[in-house]
Amino acid sequence: MIKRAVTLSLSSLLLSVAATSAVAAQDQCTLESIRAISPKDAVIDAVKVVEAPVPHCEVLGHIITQNPGPNQVNFTVMLPEERFHGRYYFVGLGAAAGFVPTTTSTELLGSYYANTTLQLLNQGFAVAGSDTGHKGMMWDFAIDNPAAKLDHGHRGAHVSAVATQAITKAYYDMKDKLYRYHLGCSGGGRMGAMAALHHPTDYDGLVVSTGFGNGNSVWFPWIVQYLVENPDRWVPPAKLALLERKVAEACAGPDGLVRDVNVCGFDVASLKCPGADSDSCLTGPQVDMIKRITGRFPVAPGVDAPGFSPTNPTGWSSFLIGNTKPTSKDMNNPWAPNPPPSSFGIGQSILRGMYFNKADFNMITDLDFDNPEHMKILGDHHADWGAVSPDLSGFKKAGGKLIIWAPIGENAVPPANAIEYYDDLKKTVPGTDDFVRVYMVPGVLHCGGGPGPQDSPERFLDKVIDWAEQGNRPDEIVASATARPVTPGQAATPVMPTLSRTVLLCPHPQVAVFDAKKGAFPYDAANWTCK
């Protein structure tokens, strides 16, 4: 998610046209005026002038989807009063979306996206968003509701984008091209990925993290079931910190960041206690738990997917296995009276709404990975709400540009999914490198947090804009580790204290290599090379 302002460049012609359009639009922020320029299927519910801190016109509306339907998809578009530069941005919402992001939102996560949106409006973007056809940020809404399920899958964001792009162009009386962008991580990355796959003409540039590939959160029950089966497998936060230090000692570069744990030969079994348990080693069950988390897992009959990387496992406590041992016999919360990890509630809701269509389905007691029927259900429904297919030929044909990035320290979505999807994409679509770039970002947890470069999403947005508008395919990118808020829902894994640093990010399969003279400052990207 974008947090700080992005410095962007435009051609003089576009600047001139946009400035004229903005002046012409100043008196059009009324309900009557917006209704007059809106598509026929878009119902405009409210329009208001927001004067501060960034003057803009806030439009709220909805579309009724059909076949299946009816279902109501709510949307917004916020139109800057000044400095509109011919660019449009659609907010990729985390989790299951479920609310309309505006600068005046009172929703639980509204302020997070409000800050993002204000930064973008101040830079001259028109900013749009959608609840994707339902309320609430979990997935139970889809039970017995195929219309809402389809809208969340991809249709709701699509009809919202079409309507809000049309309103934007009409509002500014645009004669030139409107450049359209989408950025998101987690649920927001899924939204962008589904747009590229199902509605390839919706955007000119996409920045997607944790959005493509197999799995669709099936790793959550795969991990939780194994843990609850034997609570002695639980790894305390202090021992995860031990694992993180040992992995860094074996695999990190001189800047302390691990870029590829697979090439350094680290084996978690090397930390197994030779005798009694202690703070400086892992028990056999704990080693087994880590292997479960980092190993491959089944997602469909005959299909498996990669697990997590052990590079920054301190993030696993809050998201994957809990901050405390699961000792309760209550299968509705085995961690009681303490709260469960995010994986439990998220996984439970996803299985109920997106796969088994059952309100009381329990991810621990009801899902059987050895049951062929269950595995078939998982496989059959991945594509309902996830971008599994590697055929992005439509997006390429439309001229779209895509940057896929994965935080290597991910604690919610296995990062190697991005690489495996990219490999399948290259086999499926000739000339993939003409429109897709993949970056693996070291030291970052789920969308944010950790010791790595926190402004990576902003830098990727810079680059995808330059690629879409000027034809400059991105290569190496410099990002920084300046602190920034983490993704909504990840408050338990804040940005860790870190040295001020710049980090060189390389397009996969290249990796940043420290090649400066001995004694050179390792926290300066200028001393690294992509190889």
What is the SS3 assignment for 337? Answer: coil
Q: Measured on CA atoms in the order 309, 310, 313, 319, is the torsion positive or negative?
A: positive
Which DSSP state fits 366?
T
Task: Give the pairing type, strands 477-480 and 502-505.
Answer: antiparallel
pLDDT tens-place string over residues 153-170: 999 999 999 999 999 999
Which DSSP state fits 192?
H
How much is the pLDDT for 25? Answer: 56
Decide: residue 184, CB within 10 A, 0-12 exposed, 13-18 middle, 19+ buried. Answer: buried
How much is the pLDDT for 482? Answer: 63
Decide: residue 207, CB within 10 A, 0-12 exposed, 13-18 middle, 19+ buried. Answer: buried
Q: What is the DSSP string of 70-103?
A: -EEEEEEEEEESS---SEEEEE--STT--S---T
pTM surpassing 0.85? yes
31 closest CA partner among 56, 51, 49:
49
Alpha-helix residue ranges (DSSP H) falling in 436-500: 456-470
Question: What are the extents of the domains in the chain?
Answer: 1-177, 181-213+386-531, 219-384
Check if the beta carbon of residue 108 is closer than 8 Å to that of residue 101. no
How much is the pLDDT for 173? Answer: 96
**Crossing angle of helices 219-229/342-350, nearest 10°?**
120
The amino acid that residue 80 corresponds to is P
152 phi/psi in degrees, rounded to 5 = -70, -35
State how far the Cα of 256 lies from the Cα of 413, in Å rounded to an integer.
22
The yes or no reply on domain 181-213+386-531 and CATH 2.60.40 is: no
Residues 6+ apart with CB under 8 A from 492: 317, 318, 319, 323
Asked if omega into 221 is within 30° of 0 (cis), the reply is no
Query: Which residues of the chain carry a pLDDT beneath 70?
Result: 1-26, 482-499
Buried b vs exposed e over 63-84: b needs ≥16 C-beta within 10 Å? Answer: bebeeebebbbbbbbbbbbeeb
Q: What are all long-range contacts of 251-254, with beta carbons under 8 Å and residues at least 24 apart?
A: 251/311, 253/512, 253/514, 253/522, 254/514, 254/522
